[in-house]
């Protein structure tokens, strides 16, 4: 199996960024493209449609700025790299993006939630692992 496109979902946390180094090493070894993905999760409350759109637009602007800051790091100069933002449920958006864009491998970190916190919030990593139609590498 060859990996030509590697997806790294990022949520802005240092824990999520733990997936960057292993994914970069794989991409360099396999001459693969890396896609950085940030999901903007919509609000679950109802707002005026205009205000709601402004909130989403602001979230996308912040997500793009974050991904651009990741791309500027010098260790990415050796690989083909692009970044994308999408709006939606985190796990579903990651799975759908991977399928629609012919991603061969998803590399993401596990945030290590357990017990009640995991039950209440669920695990984006676990949902992605179960739902993805491609290989998934979870960095603990």
Convert the pLDDT of each residue in 67-76 to its tens digit: 999 998 867 7
**Residue owning tokens 């669920």:** 122
pLDDT given at position 112: 54
**Residue owning tokens 């970190």:** 109
Domain count, the chain: 1
What is the reported pTM? Answer: 0.88
In whole angstroms, how far apart are CA 131 and each of 3, 6, 91, 94, 97?
19, 17, 8, 10, 12
Strands 33-40 and 5-9, sheet pairing: parallel
> 73 lies in which domain range?
5-139
Q: pLDDT tens across 81-130, in order?
A: 999 999 999 999 999 999 999 999 999 998 755 555 554 445 899 999 99
Residues counted in the chain: 140
Largest CA-CA distance found in the chain, in angstroms, rounded: 49
CATH of residue 110's domain is 3.40.50.620
What the block records as the tokens of 104 is 């061969």
pLDDT given at position 110: 85
């Amino acid at each position: 199996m060859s990996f030509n496109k590697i997806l790294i979902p990022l949520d802005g946390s240092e824990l999520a960024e733990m997936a960057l180094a292993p994914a970069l090493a794989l991409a360099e070894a396999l001459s693969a493209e890396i896609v950085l993905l940030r999901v903007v999760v919509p609000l679950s409350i109802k707002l005026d449609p205009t205000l709601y759109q402004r909130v989403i637009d602001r979230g996308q602007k912040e997500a793009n700025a974050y991904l651009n800051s990741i791309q500027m790091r010098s260790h990415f100069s050796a690989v083909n790299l692009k970044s994308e933002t999408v709006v939606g449920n985190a796990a579903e958006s990651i799975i759908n993006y991977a399928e629609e864009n012919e991603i061969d491998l998803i590399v993401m970190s596990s945030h290590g939630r357990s017990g009640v916190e995991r039950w209440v919030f669920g695990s984006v990593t676990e949902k992605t692992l179960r739902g993805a139609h491609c290989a998934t590498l979870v960095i603990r």
